[in-house]
Amino acid sequence: MAGGRRDGEPGSGIGSRREARETVLGILYAADRRGEEPIEVLAAQPVPPPDYAADVVRGVAENGDDLDALIDSYSEGWRTDRMPAVDRALLRMAAFELLHRPDVPTEAVLTEVVELAGDYSTERSGRFVNGVASRIAEEHRPSPDEE
């Protein structure tokens, strides 16, 4: 735990943040496929996930309707309920981080959700997730020169 941070927290290393996001993706995906609340799936984990992952899962669960409405407004021709479950989970995670986690760099959010889409979803998912998440970031995150 470098610098007193738990694994998976921003600043604790690229690998651990990536692992935390993979954990979030797994929990959100499982909840979606089982028709359960993400909080229930989170609570049922045999090993508690890193604080960062748990915070993102809770945030997505608490803001789900608003996140879906936002995603729907930026995903031309696609509603969240018609997207592949992995893409839906990734976009919810990205939208939550972009809106509610200013401590996480925009580029880190975008890069990692696109990589996860490439690893876990369809061939076109990386481009789709990147397009939607980038548009959300453009509208809801100030550029570095505006900060």
Separation CA 42–CA 103 (nearest Å): 23
Is the confidence at residue 2, as pLDDT, over 60? no
Q: What is the pLDDT of residues 56-102, one digit of tens each?
A: 999 999 999 999 999 999 998 889 999 999 999 999 999 999 999 99
Tally of domains in the chain: 1
Tell me how far CA of residue 12 lies from CA of 6, 25, 54, 65, 104, in angstroms. Answer: 7, 19, 16, 30, 12
Q: What is the pLDDT of residues 27-55, one digit of tens each?
A: 999 999 999 999 999 999 999 999 999 99
The domain that contains 51 carries what CATH number?
1.10.940.10
Domain residue limits at 15 = 2-146
